[in-house]
Amino acid sequence: MIGVLVSGEGTNLQALLDAQLPVTAVASNRPGVRALGRAADAGVPGAVFPLGDYASRAERDAAMADWLAGRGARLVVCAGYMHLLTPGFLERFPVPELKDGDVYITNDPWLGTGHLFDFTVVTPTFRNGRPVALFASTVHVVGIGGLVAAALVALAIAPGERLVVGGATLATTEFLRLFLVLGSLCGVGLAIVGAAAMIGLAYSGFDLAAPESVVGVAAGFAVGVLAFAAIGVVLGSFLPSARAAQGLGLVLFFGTFFLVGGGPPPGVLPDALNDIAGWTPTGLLVDAIRTPWTDGGLDVTAMVALAILAAAGFALAARRLARS
């Protein structure tokens, strides 16, 4: 019997229901989400356990575990659940059927891969005879439409633990923290590479003039990258899923990109619309880079506004994530 934890739309829950798996209860940390409606439509009991209603996360998880167990759940599936679970909850629902050497593989985008051309491999890791972590890798392979292999991510590793299989150290919590930092730096690196490619194209095909102030352009680009990263983190902290955050982020970016010159030339747009576009994050980034490129100075207003946006965005996201 399966208990399902949800936080948002519930498309993964719907896949479990459509597969006629024995879902007996659905619990959410957020009231009013679509996933609870899907459970109700299928005749499956649902309940809400907001973190703010309890003195601690452990107390909330204990109440949620009691409720799920009382409805016959023996296996709990996190289907888009956006909170970390405490050790006490995990101990209530062990995984006795998993055996050392088991490997699970799927290419179903509704069951964890995300794209039709991906596949996901999950395997448990054991220590002293009990499972202590799940390793998962979502892979893009040339033969099935992808380009590169994704990274290995370990879940549920206790702080300070070191997982050893066959004498080889696979991962530590310190390694995972480093991995996340390196992943963020890679994102910034890709932004730099993309910008360099576009500048090279402009030089070769459009007779682009050299920047008056390389340092100023680099400073404008750097503060702009931080501001846009902060916007992404804020969206991720407020929206129920990464897919929703990515979708809204693309709409916001391309909408403002259209206004600041990616669509009709600013000269044909109404003055009021140009004024609004100039204060969007994309408009501020354009000014922060264009001024040192063409005039050699700095657009202090745009730089300060982007810096404030970055600082406020990261602070707000940190507060939201700390509470959740």
Three-class DSSP labels, the chain: CEEEEECCCCHHHHHHHHCCCCEEEEEECCCCCHHHHHHHHCCCCEEECCHHHCCCHHHHHHHHHHHHHHCCCCEEEECCCCCCCCHHHHHHCCCCCCCCCCCEEECCHHHCCCCCCEEEEEEEEEECCEEEEEEEEEEECHHHCCCCECCCEEECCCCCCEEEECCEEEEEHHHHHHHHHHHHHHHHHHHHHHHHHHHHHHHHHHCCCCCCCHHHHHHHHHHHHHHHHHHHHHHHHHCCCHHHHHHHHHHHHHHHHHHHHHCCCHHHCCHHHHHHHHCCHHHHHHHHHHHHHHCCCCCHHHHHHHHHHHHHHHHHHHHHHHHC
Question: Does the pLDDT value for residue 111 go beyond 60?
Answer: no
Over residues 196-203, the mean pLDDT reads: 82
pLDDT at 26: 96
Query: Do residues 164 and 171 lie in contact, with contact meaning Cβ atoms separated by under 8 Å?
Result: no
**Model confidence at 60, in pLDDT bands (50, 70, 90)?**
very high
Question: Does the pLDDT value for residue 81 go beyond 80?
Answer: yes
pLDDT at 106: 66
Averaged pLDDT score across all residues of the chain: 78
**Model confidence at 156, in pLDDT bands (50, 70, 90)?**
very low
Question: Does the pLDDT value for residue 153 go beyond 60?
Answer: no
- Higher pLDDT pick, 18 / 100: 18
Question: Does the pLDDT value for residue 11 go beyond 50?
Answer: yes
pLDDT at 320: 79
Over residues 25-36, the mean pLDDT reads: 93
**Model confidence at 169, in pLDDT bands (50, 70, 90)?**
very low
**Model confidence at 181, in pLDDT bands (50, 70, 90)?**
low
pLDDT at 146: 39
Over residues 180-189, the mean pLDDT reads: 64
- The top-scoring range by mean pLDDT among 147-161, 177-191, 254-268 is 254-268
Question: Does the pLDDT value for residue 184 go beyond 70?
Answer: no
Question: Does the pLDDT value for residue 62 go beyond 50?
Answer: yes
pLDDT at 149: 39
- Higher pLDDT pick, 170 / 94: 94
Query: Do residues 212 and 291 lie in contact, with contact meaning Cβ atoms separated by under 8 Å?
Result: no
**Model confidence at 317, in pLDDT bands (50, 70, 90)?**
confident
Q: Which of 75-84, 104-113, 224-233 has the lowest average pLDDT?
A: 104-113
pLDDT at 59: 94
Question: Does the pLDDT value for residue 21 go beyond 50?
Answer: yes
**Model confidence at 19, in pLDDT bands (50, 70, 90)?**
confident
Q: Which of 39-53, 111-125, 276-290 has the lowest average pLDDT?
A: 111-125
Percentage of residues of the chain with pLDDT beyond 70: 77
Q: Which of 80-89, 112-121, 215-224 has the lowest average pLDDT?
A: 112-121
